[in-house]
A and B are shown apart, each in its own frame.
Chain A
């Protein structure tokens, strides 16, 4: 079974005179977990944000689940309901309880009735292990709990693909594991995932494929074992050396 969920071709994105993405090709099959790694400023977050058009591409084509997002006539709001997004900074609606965070879009966008929305919400809250927080407000939760609620919120829309934009970068180290655990479980359940991350261990163990990006290009791409375990390109090697063994590097990484 190899139907393509995300198909990106020749994607370019500039912010003013700065070209951040210089022609990216990427395709993600159903059930695939693809991790994007690379130094900061390499364009990996921008690439992810283009996949649900939070950033408007300057060129190229993006097709998600058969819908061309780069078509000017696309109903982007309808398309986005099928693309779950998890942000580095969680972005839970701070004025709504956990339950309402999970039901508001189901009711207002998908037009589910309150009862059904609540059922879906409770099911997804259980998936992330936070059933007891259903009535909590976001500011009463730890960062790790907020991020798991954010994942449950995205799942409640029954997306075809989930995008994760550095989901653990804003977390205290001891809370990272909870979130990665939920993501691993999602991957095991067969969710299609596109993950920008600095967690090499996670990428290595969970990803079907790893993309290494640098300077707006995909430099290296392949199975996790190959890209992280035995990188071919010099830039991938030096990046991984710096990330995996930071204490044995010179100041600029040689």
Chain B
């Protein structure tokens, strides 16, 4: 007996639902709930983590990330301008820097800043500076490429209009190009911030005092005393408190600005919309 294609599709969907329910039920009955609860949400361990997980670890993660982002943004802007420079050596230097730091693991940069750089140059970083500088140096390479792309996405006609009004190249850059590029790069920049938030966990490889713990280190230390999944889970949830809203913000900004795309007047007859 032949079934129509549509009936077959409906039947197949019902079978898939049924299968899902069966598997879920089997798992629910087979699971040892007390054991699961002990290892994933041990109330005692969770209670022990508060308030320090917020007042110390969460706060430090925010601080290291913000510090790192500030350095990464400044460095990224300089590198982007260097990469767009008409002077060859600036371009080459920026390219070498960007290629190098995008190609090596960020963890390596943290280790270098922790030990190798102080040894080689006789500089002593405090912990916050280590986190900020290492995050900034690694993140700066990515942000540089983002900003460069944003600057190049500003329509050429905007620059010509500014120059035709007598603005110098520098004035054009500051008054017309960078403000518009900034709008274009805001969504991708928010994504960079999410990546940096997660990468701030790498500071846990260097020696930290308890007051300097950030989320990952804090989770690991709690774990070593209470061998359950709970501290890692809580640390993870704390990261989500930062990254989920940022992710939504990024998508919102994208819809509001990038979503409209930089349209050429020739194609829309409506000039450049931001």
Q: Give me the interface of A with B, judged by CB distance under 8 Å.
A: 52, 54, 77-81, 83-85, 87-95, 104-105, 108-110, 138-139, 141-143, 146, 150, 153-154, 157, 170-172
Q: Chain B 146-163, CB within 8 Å of chain A: the 1/0 string?
A: 000000000101101111
Check B269 against A109 for contact (C-beta < 8 Å).
Answer: no
B12 contacts partner chain A, Cβ-Cβ < 8 Å: no
Query: With A77-B167, A77-B168, A108-B171 given, is the CB distance from A91 to B269 under 8 Å?
Result: no
Interface residues of B in 183-197 (CB under 8 A from A): 183
The CA-CA distance from A108 to B171 in the complex, in Å, is 8
The CA-CA distance from A144 to B14 in the complex, in Å, is 58
The CA-CA distance from A94 to B157 in the complex, in Å, is 11
Check A89 against B264 for contact (C-beta < 8 Å).
Answer: yes
The CA-CA distance from A154 to B180 in the complex, in Å, is 21
B167 to chain A, nearest CB (A): 6
Check B165 against A109 for contact (C-beta < 8 Å).
Answer: yes
B9 contacts partner chain A, Cβ-Cβ < 8 Å: no
**Residue in B166, B176, B183, B272 whose CB lies within 8 Å of A80:** B166
**Residue in B161, B171, B269, B270 whose CB lies within 8 Å of A93:** B161
B266 contacts partner chain A, Cβ-Cβ < 8 Å: yes
Query: With A87-B157, A89-B157, A109-B171 given, is the CB distance from A143 to B271 under 8 Å?
Result: yes
Contacts of B271 in A (CB 8 A): 89-92, 94, 138-139, 141, 143, 146
Interface residues of B in 216-257 (CB under 8 A from A): none
14 extra A-B contacts, CB within 8 A, seeds A77-B166, A95-B183: A54-B160, A54-B163, A77-B163, A80-B164, A83-B164, A89-B271, A91-B155, A91-B272, A105-B166, A108-B175, A139-B272, A143-B265, A154-B165, A157-B165
The CA-CA distance from A83 to B165 in the complex, in Å, is 8
B160 to chain A, nearest CB (A): 6
Query: With A81-B166, A108-B171, A109-B167 given, is the CB distance from A89 to B183 under 8 Å?
Result: no
Interface size on B, residues (CB 8 A): 27
A87 to chain B, nearest CB (A): 6
Residue of B nearest to A106 (CB): B165
The CA-CA distance from A85 to B175 in the complex, in Å, is 19
B216 to chain A, nearest CB (A): 39
| Pairs across A and B, CB under 8 Å, 10 listed | A83-B164, A85-B164, A89-B265, A91-B265, A94-B271, A108-B175, A139-B271, A142-B270, A170-B266, A172-B269
B179 contacts partner chain A, Cβ-Cβ < 8 Å: yes
Check A81 against B157 for contact (C-beta < 8 Å).
Answer: no
Interface centre among A52, A83, A93, A146 (most CB of B within 10 A): A93
Check B274 against A139 for contact (C-beta < 8 Å).
Answer: yes
The CA-CA distance from A154 to B167 in the complex, in Å, is 13
The CA-CA distance from A78 to B166 in the complex, in Å, is 6
Interface centre among B158, B166, B270, B272 (most CB of A within 10 A): B166
Check A52 against B164 for contact (C-beta < 8 Å).
Answer: yes
Contacts of B166 in A (CB 8 A): 77-81, 105, 109-110, 157
Query: With A108-B175, A139-B270, A139-B274 given, is the CB distance from A54 to B167 under 8 Å?
Result: no
Residue of B nearest to A175 (CB): B269
Of all A-B residue pairs in the complex, the 5 with the closest CB atoms, nearest first, are: A89-B265, A139-B273, A81-B166, A105-B165, A91-B161
**Residue in B158, B165, B266 whose CB lies within 8 Å of A153:** B165
Check B175 against A54 for contact (C-beta < 8 Å).
Answer: no
A136 to chain B, nearest CB (A): 12
The CA-CA distance from A93 to B172 in the complex, in Å, is 11
Contacts of A108 in B (CB 8 A): 167, 171, 175
B105 to chain A, nearest CB (A): 38
